[in-house]
Amino acid sequence: MVKFLAKLFSLLAIIIFVSCETTKYQSHNQLVAAEMELLDEFLEYVEEDDNPEGFTTKELLTDMAVDTIDHSLESGMIYFEMKTGSGDLPKAGTEVGYRYVSYRILEDTAGIARAFASGSNYYQANPEYFTIGDDASSLSYRGIYPGIVEAITNMRLFGKSTVIIPSPIGPGDYVSRMYELELTYMSK
């Protein structure tokens, strides 16, 4: 019985050792590169249904937008203004409220980069509030990431935008997000 247990233990040790050897660890730079590659695939994907022109995702969003801001070379944010609001842009010290629908950009089971819905506050009683210029770490703790703040500072009251935010200006989890934002409140 002891010999049997010793052989079993040895076999388990070999299995664990081999499985540990095949585990693939990625560095921060590799994870960021993989995220950016997936984001590029998402933006360049051509959806076959309801798209007779053969537009890519980025071309479709650009075509639907009234204005765009491409900060992909600076912060990484790509901003599509879908409806221009009224009034001035929010400045430091302005309290703002916004509604959102968020999507995570991931591969589906067929290996195609897609946007999967991951959250919304449209059905909550109140919008999400924050003050422009608040401490970034306290905002991030509440799920208000630097990319959202950057997008909101480019919006006017009752404006609507679709924004693509890579994880360095989002939650930092190596998954890009797409948000549909509506600025619903601005203090005077």
**Domains of the chain in sequence order:** 27-186 (3.10.50.40)
Gap between the Cα atoms of 56 and 35, Å rounded: 18
What are the Cα distances from residue 87, in Å, to 39, 97, 146? 33, 15, 23
Mean pLDDT, rounded, for 160-179:
95
Residue 9 reports pLDDT greater than 60: yes
Residue 15 reports pLDDT greater than 80: no
pLDDT digits (tens, 9 = 90+) for 75-109: 899 999 999 999 999 999 999 999 999 999 999 99
